[in-house]
């Protein structure tokens, strides 16, 4: 033998020295669920993840800062009485999202605030767009998404994050932001978002499960790979600053192909189902939770994600701080 590759795996120190993939908390985004009021409610389908009443969210953000987590992706749970077919609450200047952005940025200007742009939390149908006769309308939805983005920007959002998968929304949002002189607000586009069963726990968090049908006429078919590149390149052309692949763990091939095809930062979203499966399995004693967190996130990073949105952000930060 003239090569003995085990030499490079001999000790922990050597393995650390040659490790190709590292993750820093600075590269993680924590999705944060906000509701009205003061209550902190655990989401039953996502153990360890809470919905924070707006009055209570500030303490949680202080916790995040101590863990070196500086970026949140805001989702709001809209009260049923405020949902209507026109999704009018999405454009309410004093709505929960508007107040959440404004108050968080006022208290924590250093935090990067990203906001979800889609209509599902505001719609009685739970779809990401306006619904007419059982159909999801594209262009009318895009008009609202653009206005919604301007509203979020005006309240201080650093990035708007359209998660709806309508055609043409990125350019409409970009044009609207420019027109209103919000030249410092970025767009993180969910560019390759698949219709996935792994969003299920999230929908109970926001009470936003689709009332009829599924999301397959706008979210992508998981049998497709080339389509992900097509969607992503178009979003960049339309003005996206960051692109995203979602879900993450079962889509590592897509993350890598997107990473190789683009020259903007690539994000991946380790979604609610990916989180809850690890949680459930750990609870049963079938996998070691800490090891599963590290391995799943590292694999997503190794596949090519520059940024990861994950419900494990706090756990990750705690784990690596303990190991230092």
Q: Which residues belong to the active site? A: 193, 246
* Least gap, CB of 190 to ligand PBG (angstroms): 7
Q: How far apart are CA 268 and CA 281, in angstroms?
A: 22
The residues that touch ligand PBG, with contacts defined as CB under 6 A, are 116, 118, 120, 128, 163-164, 199, 202-203, 215, 271-272
Alpha helices in 155-306, H assignment, sequence order: 169-179, 200-206, 226-238, 252-261, 272-283, 289-303
Q: Which is nearer to ligand PBG, 76 or 232 (CB)?
A: 76
Q: Which is nearer to ligand PBG, 25 or 126 (CB)?
A: 126
* Least gap, CB of 11 to ligand PBG (angstroms): 38
Q: Per residue in 59-85, is it b (16+ CB within 10 Å) or e — as a string? A: ebbeebeebebbbbbbbbbbeeebbee
* Least gap, CB of 221 to ligand PBG (angstroms): 14
Q: How far apart are CA 255 and CA 279, in angstroms?
A: 24
Q: Which is nearer to ligand PBG, 180 or 299 (CB)?
A: 299
Q: Which is nearer to ligand PBG, 120 or 231 (CB)?
A: 120
Tokens of residue 20, six digits: 């190709």
CA distances, 198 to each of 269, 271, 272, 303 (Å): 11, 7, 6, 19
């Amino acid at each position: 033998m003239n090569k003995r590759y085990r030499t490079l795996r001999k000790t922990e120190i050597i393995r650390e020295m040659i490790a190709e993939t590292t993750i820093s908390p600075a590269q993680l985004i924590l999705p944060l669920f906000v509701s009205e009021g003061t209550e902190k409610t655990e989401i039953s389908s996502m153990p360890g993840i809470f919905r924070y009443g707006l009055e209570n969210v500030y303490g949680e953000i202080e916790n995040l800062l101590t863990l070196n987590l500086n970026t949140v992706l805001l989702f709001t749970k809209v009260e049923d009485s405020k949902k209507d077919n026109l999704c009018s609450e999405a454009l309410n200047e004093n709505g929960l999202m508007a107040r959440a952005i404004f108050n968080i940025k006022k208290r924590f200007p250093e935090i990067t605030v990203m906001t979800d742009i889609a209509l599902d939390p505001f719609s009685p149908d739970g779809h990401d767009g306006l619904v007419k006769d059982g159909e999801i309308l594209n262009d009318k939805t895009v008009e609202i998404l653009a206005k919604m983005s301007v509203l979020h920007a005006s309240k201080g959002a650093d990035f708007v994050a359209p998660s709806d998968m309508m055609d043409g929304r990125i350019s409409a949002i970009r044009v609207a932001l420019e027109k209103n002189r919000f030249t410092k607000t970025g767009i993180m586009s969910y560019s390759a978002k698949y219709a996935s069963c792994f969003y299920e726990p999230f929908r109970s968090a926001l009470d936003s499960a689709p009332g009829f049908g599924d999301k397959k006429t706008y979210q992508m078919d998981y049998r497709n790979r080339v389509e992900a590149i097509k969607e992503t390149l178009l979003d960049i052309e339309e003005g996206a600053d960051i692109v995203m692949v979602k879900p993450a763990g079962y889509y590592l091939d897509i993350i890598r192909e997107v990473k190789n095809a683009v020259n903007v930062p690539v994000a991946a979203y380790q979604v609610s189902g990916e989180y809850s499966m690890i949680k459930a399995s750990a609870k049963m004693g079938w996998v070691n939770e800490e090891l599963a967190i590290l391995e799943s996130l590292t694999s997503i990073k190794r596949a090519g994600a520059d940024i990861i949105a994950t419900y494990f952000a706090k756990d990750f930060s705690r784990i690596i701080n303990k190991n230092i």
